[in-house]
Amino acid sequence: MEWTRSETIGLASVKCVHCRGLGLREARGRLVPCACVFRSIFRACYARFRKCVEQEKRYSRVSLEYSPRGGRRITWGMKNEEYIADFYLVSRRHLTPEEWEVFRYHFLLGADSRLCTRKLKIDRGQFFHMVYRIEAKLGRVFRELQPYSLYPLDEYFYGRTENPWKGGGDEGPAAKPMRAAPAQRIPVKKVA
């Protein structure tokens, strides 16, 4: 899989000392995407997740989409619920048990660093290091996920979500089905 500068430059942190805002850095003689790019992708996906959770309490948007099985089949989906489920399940699948604990307390339940360090019995340094690692790890997964990536978000919600990248190798997560195709997914049940 090839990350290009045109993709990374808009996502990179301008203050990043590793890539100097370009989103690509050199490692072992070749250009690889910088962690600041992955973290930026994670933050965009996480912000959307929070927005969906908030909206989901008030209303759901039903949308029609072409079936991934092709032809003229059209299926319907509740995009916000699908996204919430995908964000949760993909994160759960790719994090280690230790990372998942931090993710759950901090990102899902909204606990701050003080509460997390007390509850998980880790120091502040360990906590922030773990948060940084989780953001970078999931940002990459959300972009490289096959066959349907979570990022870019506009493609997820409004357009084709099939990932044209082949993936594999040491460049990203293995090309195994990690998310059900839209037509096969079961809408998340509303909890009263």
- Give CA–CA dist 89/94, Å, rounded: 9
**Residues in touch with Zn ion (CB under 5 A):** 12, 16, 18-19, 34, 36
Instruction: Specify the residue, 21 or 68, whose C-beta has the smaller distance to Zn ion.
Output: 21
Instruction: Specify the residue, 100 or 128, whose C-beta has the smaller distance to Zn ion.
Output: 128
- Whole-angstrom CA distances from 50 to 55, 120, 141 are 9, 23, 19
In whole angstroms, how close is the CB of 100 to Zn ion at the nearest point? 26
Q: Are the CB atoms for 158 and 143 separated by under 8 Å? A: no
In whole angstroms, how close is the CB of 12 to Zn ion at the nearest point? 5
In whole angstroms, how close is the CB of 44 to Zn ion at the nearest point? 16
Instruction: Specify the residue, 19 or 145, whose C-beta has the smaller distance to Zn ion.
Output: 19
- Position 70: which residue type? G
Instruction: Specify the residue, 136 or 178, whose C-beta has the smaller distance to Zn ion.
Output: 136
Instruction: Specify the residue, 2 or 123, whose C-beta has the smaller distance to Zn ion.
Output: 2
Q: Are the CB atoms for 162 and 150 separated by under 8 Å? A: no
What would the DSSP string read from start to end of 113-151? HHHHHHHHT--HHHHHHHHHHHHHHHHHHHHH-SSB-S-
In whole angstroms, how close is the CB of 160 to Zn ion at the nearest point? 28
In whole angstroms, how close is the CB of 18 to Zn ion at the nearest point? 5
- Give CA–CA dist 190/138, Å, rounded: 26
Structure tokens at 65: 């989409």
